[in-house]
Amino acid sequence: MFKSGFRKLVILEGTYSEMIDDLKTYFKGEQQFVDLGIGSLEKYYTWKIPSALFDGSSNVYSGSNFEANVALKKDLSKRWQEEPHIREEITKWIISEWGGIRGNRKSTLNNYYRQSLQKSPATPLKGIASFSKVLAVKDPEDPAFLYCRVFFVDCGLFR
């Protein structure tokens, strides 16, 4: 079973099935997770968008922080599809600037870029938080990229 903490979950005990049920309850914001979950994203989401985008243009996104990030993700996805020649720049910017992970080697960023071009990219556990952001921009409608992140949580916390 889960116990709710300030913006985090701690798994205490339970079968795999119970844990899945608790995850569903959490994401729906039900029972002990009222005011948490997907429905509360707009209220609590505080990811900062850098002032300059990957192409040097200014951040023009407005609304709540959540709305601005969703709009940016949609714009990046559209540009990913329509302008293949800038995908490498988008990949590096998503991870290093928007994601704030500046410690990656150039070879690591290049590998994320190359893998992102694959129809079924390899998704190693190391770096999945960074890489899944790129994959979510590449194809925001494909739930498999969310599953990569859930799998990471599964491996990291359920064992």
User: Which residues touch 153 (CB under 8 Å, ≥6 apart)?
Assistant: none
80 pLDDT more than 90: yes
Greatest distance between any 2 Cα atoms in the chain: 50
Burial of 98 (0-12, 13-18, 19+ CB in 10 A): buried
12 pLDDT more than 50: no
pTM metric for this prediction:
0.71
Distance, CA of 34 to CA of 36 (rounded, Å):
5
Burial of 88 (0-12, 13-18, 19+ CB in 10 A): middle
If you average pLDDT over each of 2-11, 17-26, 57-66, which comes out highest?
57-66
- Quick one: average pLDDT of 61-69? 87
In the prediction, which pLDDT does 13 show? 57
User: Which residues touch 81 (CB under 8 Å, ≥6 apart)?
Assistant: none
Place of tokens 């991870």: 95
pLDDT tens-digit readout, 92-110: 999 999 988 888 899 999 9
